[in-house]
Amino acid sequence: MLIDILAAAGTEAPQNQFGFMEAMEQGGPVAWTILAVLVIQSAGSFYILITKWIEQNRVIKQFAAGRAPFWRAASISEGASKFDKDSAWRQLVDDALAADAEHKNMADSLEAHDWLHGSLARSESSINAKLASGLPFLATTGATAPFVGLLGTVIGIYRALINIGIAGSASIDKVAGPVGEALIMTAIGLLVAVPAVFAYNYLQSRNKKIASMLTGFSTELLANIASNGTVKPTIQAAKPASAAAKPAPKKA
């Protein structure tokens, strides 16, 4: 008889389910909205990281492949074809040629030099601005994602306190769901923010490297144009085939 009573009590006891989906369902529309915002921020961060890394890699490779052929050409206008038409380096060359054509209308040589220098600086700035596009989203995500998660945490704890007040006791089945939701939101906020901060710093460091390359190349262009093609950077000749590749002479 006692066994039957205990069995009946066990079957009648409520079976509380705890987990991510259960916590989100208890949180309702507010929890799902906060989760959606964090998912959008995370997806946007990874999208920007991948696309900007590909763009930066393309700019660096174009410079490495085209710089030597460009300076080996007979003139700047001829060397421009060594860069892709849509490349940042072709833009610098085209802007330099356009400024050179315009500055010939100036009587003062100092004004002509300043005009050419200013035109190249504006071209550099436009390229750097394009490379930096998207990075503010990463910075915003890294700064705000923890607070978005914290909002979910505050709401979860508030709901746990409401349940305690209604039930009149702090039983685990009344507070586990809301507290679990709160902890989940905090963790998700950090998981979104940390990669965004790392991605921002990484892409910023690569942009600084490219900006330095742009400045160096525009300085070379300015010196070459101002000297009527006399001043050119030293370009190392292509390395010959390794002597190790040749068959070794046979010993007598």
Report the pLDDT value the prediction gives residue 175, as an integer from 0 to 100. 64
Q: Is 119 exposed, middle or buried (0-12, 13-18, 19+ CB in 10 A)?
A: buried
pTM of the full predicted structure? Answer: 0.76
Q: Give the tens place of pLDDT for each residue, 95-111.
A: 988 888 887 776 666 56
Q: Give the tens place of pLDDT for each residue, 58-74.
A: 999 999 999 999 999 88
In angstroms, rounded to a whole number, what is the distance separating the alpha carbons of residues 48 and 197?
A: 12
Radius of gyration of the chain (CA): 32
Q: Give the tens place of pLDDT for each residue, 148-207.
A: 888 888 877 777 777 777 766 656 666 666 666 677 888 889 999 999 999 999 999 999
With a cut of 70, say whether residue 229 has pLDDT above it.
Answer: yes
In angstroms, rounded to a whole number, what is the distance separating the alpha carbons of residues 76 and 72?
A: 10
Distance, CA of 249 to chain centre: 54
Domain boundaries, the chain: 18-230
The residue among 203 and 246 whose pLDDT is bigger is 203
User: How many CA atoms lie less than 13 Å away from 113 in the CB half-sphere?
Assistant: 9
* DSSP state for residue 169 in the 8-state scheme: S
Please tell me whether residue 181 adopts helix, strand or coil conformation: helix
The residue among 77 and 56 whose pLDDT is bigger is 56
